[in-house]
C-alpha cells in the first residue's frame, strides 16, 4: 500500500495528491513533509523538512515515486539549480552566448596580458569562467595581440578583448576575439561597418553621472543608436564604481532602470567593489552577485588581481548558481545545495 503524503504547514499547500495538517502528528503509512519552522513529528513515520514552499510539487512527485523524503528534498533543490542554467541566449558571437536577463548569471573572468596573460586565463577558465576578458594597459602593450591570439587558441571558452589602447576592433577580431570592450556613442562610429555585426561590443555611457536615471538614459540611447548603426550584438555596462565613494548604488539603480527598457544583456564589473573593500571576497561577492541579479544584470565581470581576491571567479560561479536557483523559484538564496560558507556554518544541523 502506498504511503500517504502529508504536508505540515500553517496553510494548505496548492499541491494535488497530498493531505494537509497543521500539527506534525503521524502514524505508520504516512510521509510528512514539514514546513521549515515545524517541530519534529510525533509518531512512527518518515519525514523531511522542505525549506521552500516552491519546492513542494517536485518533492511530492519524487516521494510519490518512491524516493526517500530527505533525498527527494535534495534532488528537488538540485533540479532547481540545474533548471536555472537553462536559457535562450540573447545572441551568439563566436561561442559567446549571454542570457538577456537572469537567471542564469554568467561569470566572465578578467585577466591582464602583463600580469598573467594566457596562463592566468587558463586558470580562471578552470575555476569556471564562462568567458575570458583579455585586458591590456596603456604604456604596456608589448605582446598584447600575441597573447590574445594565444589565449583564444588555448581557451575552451570565448575570449573578449579589452585592449586599453593596445589594439583596435579590427585587430582583435582578426586575432579571434569574440567581443570588444568598450565603446561609447562617441567612438562607435569609428568601428568599420562590416565589423559591427560580427562580434560582441560592450557599451559604456559617455561619462558616469551619479544620477542613476541619467546613466540609465545614456544606456537606452546608446542601445537605440547602435542598433540603428548596424550593431547587433550589444552588452550594456553601467560601469560599477567603488562602494561608498563614489558609490556602487547608482550603477545598480541604473542597471535596474535600464533593464526595464533595453533588450541587450547588461554586464556589471564587480572588481571595483570587492577589491576596494577590506572584507573577505566570498561573502562580498555573493551579495554583489545577488544585487546585480536583482537589478537585471546577467553577466558579472570578476578578476583576481590581488592576493585577497584569489578564487573570486569560483566564488562568483558558486554565488551565480545559488542566486540563479533562488530567482528561478522565487526564494531567498539559502537552503540549496550550493553555499559560500567556508568559515561559518549554519549550526549543528549543517556541518
Interval 202-226: pLDDT, tens: 999 988 899 999 999 999 999 999 9
Q: Percent of the chain, pLDDT > 90?
A: 89
* CA–CA separation, 315 and 99 (whole Å): 20
Report the pLDDT value the prediction gives residue 351, as an integer from 0 to 100. Answer: 39
Q: Percent of the chain, pLDDT > 70?
A: 98
pLDDT, tens digit (0-9, with 9 covering 90-100), for 44-103: 999 999 999 999 999 999 999 999 999 999 999 999 999 999 999 999 999 999 999 999
Mean pLDDT of 164-185: 97
- Which residues form the domain of 11? 4-83
Report the pLDDT value the prediction gives residue 1, as an integer from 0 to 100. Answer: 47
Shared-domain flag, residues 258 and 140: yes
* CA–CA separation, 58 and 63 (whole Å): 9
Answer left, alpha or beta for residue 116, where phi above 0 means left and psi between -120 and 50 means alpha: left
**Residue 75: inside a domain, yes or no?**
yes
**Residue 136: inside a domain, yes or no?**
yes
What confidence category does residue 234 fall into, taking pLDDT thresholds of 50, 70 and 90?
very high
* CB neighbour list of residue 272: distance below 8 Å, 6 or more residues apart: 240, 241, 242, 248
Shared-domain flag, residues 116 and 243: yes
Round the average pLDDT of the chain to a whole number and report it.
Answer: 95
pLDDT, tens digit (0-9, with 9 covering 90-100), for 291-312: 999 999 999 999 999 999 999 9
What confidence category does residue 350 fall into, taking pLDDT thresholds of 50, 70 and 90?
very low
Shared-domain flag, residues 30 and 139: no
Shared-domain flag, residues 185 and 58: no
**Residue 141: inside a domain, yes or no?**
yes
Shared-domain flag, residues 51 and 122: no
Number of neighbours of residue 78 by Cβ within 10 angstroms: 14
Shared-domain flag, residues 47 and 112: no
Domain count, the chain: 2
Amino acid at each position: 500500500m502506498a504511503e500517504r503524503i502529508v504536508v505540515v504547514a500553517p496553510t494548505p499547500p496548492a499541491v494535488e495528491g497530498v493531505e494537509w495538517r497543521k500539527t506534525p502528528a503521524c502514524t505508520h503509512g504516512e510521509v510528512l513533509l514539514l514546513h521549515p519552522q515545524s517541530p519534529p513529528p510525533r509518531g512512527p513515520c518518515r519525514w523531511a523538512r522542505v525549506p521552500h514552499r516552491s519546492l513542494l510539487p517536485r518533492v511530492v512527485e519524487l516521494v510519490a515515486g518512491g524516493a526517500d523524503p530527505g533525498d527527494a528534498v535534495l534532488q528537488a533543490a538540485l533540479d532547481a539549480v540545474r533548471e536555472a542554467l537553462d536559457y535562450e541566449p540573447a545572441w551568439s558571437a563566436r561561442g559567446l552566448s549571454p542570457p538577456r536577463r537572469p537567471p542564469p548569471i554568467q561569470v566572465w573572468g578578467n585577466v591582464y596580458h602583463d600580469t598573467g596573460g594566457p596562463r592566468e586565463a587558463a586558470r580562471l577558465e578552470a575555476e569556471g569562467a564562462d568567458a575570458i576578458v583579455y585586458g591590456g594597459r596603456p604604456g604596456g602593450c608589448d605582446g598584447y595581440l600575441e597573447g590574445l591570439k594565444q589565449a583564444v587558441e588555448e581557451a575552451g571558452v570565448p575570449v573578449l578583448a579589452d585592449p586599453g589602447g593596445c589594439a583596435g576592433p579590427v585587430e582583435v577580431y582578426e586575432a579571434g576575439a569574440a567581443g570588444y570592450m568598450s565603446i561609447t556613442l562617441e567612438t562607435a562610429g569609428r568601428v568599420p561597418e562590416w565589423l559591427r555585426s560580427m562580434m560582441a561590443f560592450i557599451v559604456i555611457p559617455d561619462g558616469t553621472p551619479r544620477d542613476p536615471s541619467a546613466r540609465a538614459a545614456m544606456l537606452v540611447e546608446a542601445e537605440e543608436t547602435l542598433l540603428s548603426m548596424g550593431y547587433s550584438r550589444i552588452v550594456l555596462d553601467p560601469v560599477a564604481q567603488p562602494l561608498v565613494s563614489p558609490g556602487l548604488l547608482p550603477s545598480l539603480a541604473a542597471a535596474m532602470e535600464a533593464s526595464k527598457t533595453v533588450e541587450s544583456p547588461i554586464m556589471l564589473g564587480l572588481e571595483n567593489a570587492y577589491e576596494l573593500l577590506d572584507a573577505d571576497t566570498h561573502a562580498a561577492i555573493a551579495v554583489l552577485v545577488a544585487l546585480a541579479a536583482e537589478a537585471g544584470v546577467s553577466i558579472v565581470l570578476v578578476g583576481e588581481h590581488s592576493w585577497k581576491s584569489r578564487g573570486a571567479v569560483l566564488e562568483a560561479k558558486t554565488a551565480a548558481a545559488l542566486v540563479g536557483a533562488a530567482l528561478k523559484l522565487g526564494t531567498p538564496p539559502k537552503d540549496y545545495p550550493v553555499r559560500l560558507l567556508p568559515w561559518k556554518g549554519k549550526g549543528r544541523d549543517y556541518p
